Amino acid sequence: MQTRTIEITSNRNENIKVGIIPGHFVASHSHVNYYVDMNSLKRQFKMSKEAAKVFSSDFADIPVDTIICLEGTQVIGAFLAEGLSGGSTHSINAGNDIVVITPELNSSGQMLFRDNSQDIIWGKNVLILISSASTGRTIERCLECLAYYSGNLAGVAALFSAVDELDGIPIKAIFYKDDFPNYESRPQAECPMCHEKKKVDAIINDFGYSKI
């Protein structure tokens, strides 16, 4: 499948690139016609720092106490905290100590924070950082978690988002749906590739893909 990879450059920063593979893929909540490989963006020092610069500009005027990192975005989250608190942007958070944390998942997939970590969520301004938002369901789960622990939503940032907003909440992204030609995300029952009996290429998640 790697031979089918198409490199896409972000319209927001020419130093940020991802590879997309066309095909029939099964994600946790949908079927999609592209596998979007965010691993280089999440793991490579230089590109992670460039992504953080984009988000630092997006949220420079918004108070942020805590960044919740989902789907392996901790490296970008650390750079983002640095950019907001003392980077080159003129941020309202300059000089502040911003916490970077990842929630625990229980057996039902619910997000939780242990008693010794709840004080960095309770009453704090929390920015959600996620790798990919194809349907928005993972963000919804995080919002439920945030409400349970009485955190205040500061914003949502995604490396890739197929939706511009969720329940009126804008999503700031490095890549949007329109950056990938004819990108589609459908529930299984509505998947045109399934109706055409097209073979599934792989099962995908934020770690990568497993061919079938």
pLDDT at res. 108: 81
How far separated are the first and last CA of the chain, in Å rounded? 12
Backbone angles phi, psi at 193, to 5 degrees: -70, -35
CB 191 within 8 A of CB 27: no
Mean of pLDDT over the chain? 93
Per-residue pLDDT band for 71 (boundaries 50, 70, 90) equals very high
Q: What is the pLDDT of residues 105-132, one digit of tens each?
A: 988 888 999 999 999 999 999 999 999 9
Q: How far apart, in Å, are the Cα atoms of 2 and each of 99, 183, 188, 207? A: 37, 18, 24, 16
* Average pLDDT of the residues in 148-159: 97
Per-residue pLDDT band for 4 (boundaries 50, 70, 90) equals confident
* Average pLDDT of the residues in 101-106: 94
Per-residue pLDDT band for 206 (boundaries 50, 70, 90) equals confident
Residue 87 pLDDT more than 90?
A: no
pLDDT at res. 86: 84
Backbone angles phi, psi at 82, to 5 degrees: -65, -45
CATH numeric code, 2-205+207-211: 3.40.50.2020
Percent of the chain scoring above 90 in pLDDT: 83
